[in-house]
Amino acid sequence: MFKGSFVALITPFRNGKVDEKAFQGLVEWQIAEGTHGLVPCGTTGESPTLSHDEHKRVVELCVEAAGKKVPVVAGTGSNSTAEAVELTRHAKKAGADGALVVTPYYNKPTQAGLYAHYKAIAEAVDLPILVYNIPPRCVIDISVETMARIAKLPNIVGVKEATGDVTRFTKHRNAIGAKFVQMSGDDGLALGHMAHGGHGCISVTANIAPRQLSEFQNACLASDFGKARTIHDRLAPLHEALFIEASPGPVKYAASLLGKCQPDTRLPLVEISEATKQRVRETMASAGLLN
């Protein structure tokens, strides 16, 4: 169920509120363009600045618009275990197909604390869970040994890996087995991750290039790495441009150029610079996304 190009969905805003029409339009476009799965309310969806009511509403809107055509993996992580349990329970009630649970940020738990965190969530909610390991944002890193322990818990089916270490996929596979789902969390490293046995990518760039990223993942899954490399090379400058400033500022601006939503973000994120806008426009054009 969890393989291919999953999009880390942006959350469109208009006049300070969630733009529900634009969000569901984006979901429908993603499905029509071949995206294999949807991930609402992750970091790219500005989950830290969504209220609990908004968070739950966005998940519900995504499930509704998806209509079971592709899987929905709702972001339900928190640095409070109790809050993560609550959000994961809601995701299941809303009809999501899985949950993406990020490591507890700021708290800096030990490896034992990380295991206990995922154990509590997995045992509280009967829903497939992807662990989200992203040390650059959360400071902590789940070791291979701890991941192997977590993988034995009920409902833990895989990981979104964003350590920047492409060899981590091989280490996980050797320690856990090939059935453990490994999704890349980095568009720029997705080719390497897939060559190391990955199952797909939870992609930021897919917000604006869904068809190309779907084709890229289809090529990787078919072991056609020549075709995959050609697509990767075309999109590589765009992958980089979308992270010149804090995400999702650049990708929201890019989506606005395609008429998908307003470029608005919430504080503490601010409007991206003119230099970044120019770089985004140039790389979109070179990728064939703008006329």
**3-state class (DSSP) for residue 182:** strand
What is the identity of the amino acid at 242? L
- Residues 6+ away with beta carbon under 8 Å from 183: 2, 6, 130, 158, 159, 160, 161, 198, 199, 200, 201, 202
- Whole-angstrom Cα distance, residue 28 to residue 120? 34
Dihedral of the alpha carbons of 239, 64, 77, 172, in degrees to the nearest 10: -60
- Whole-angstrom Cα distance, residue 164 to residue 58? 29
From 3, 56, 115, 160, the catalytic residue: 160
Is 17 a residue of the active site? no
Q: Give the CA distances from residue 153 to residues 36, 120, 180, in Å, rounded to whole numbers and listed in that order.
A: 26, 10, 12
From 3, 56, 115, 132, the catalytic residue: 132
Q: Which two tokens stand for residue 285?
A: 């054009």
Residue 281: CB atoms within 10 Å: 16
Counting Cα atoms < 13 Å in the Cβ hemisphere of 287 gives 28
- The answer to whether 95 and 57 have CB atoms below 8 angstroms apart is no
Counting Cα atoms < 13 Å in the Cβ hemisphere of 187 gives 31
- Whole-angstrom Cα distance, residue 170 to residue 165? 10
Is 253 a residue of the active site? no
Report the residue count for the chain.
Answer: 291
Q: Which two tokens stand for residue 250?
A: 């650049």
Max Cα-Cα span within the chain: 52
Active-site amino acid positions: 132, 160
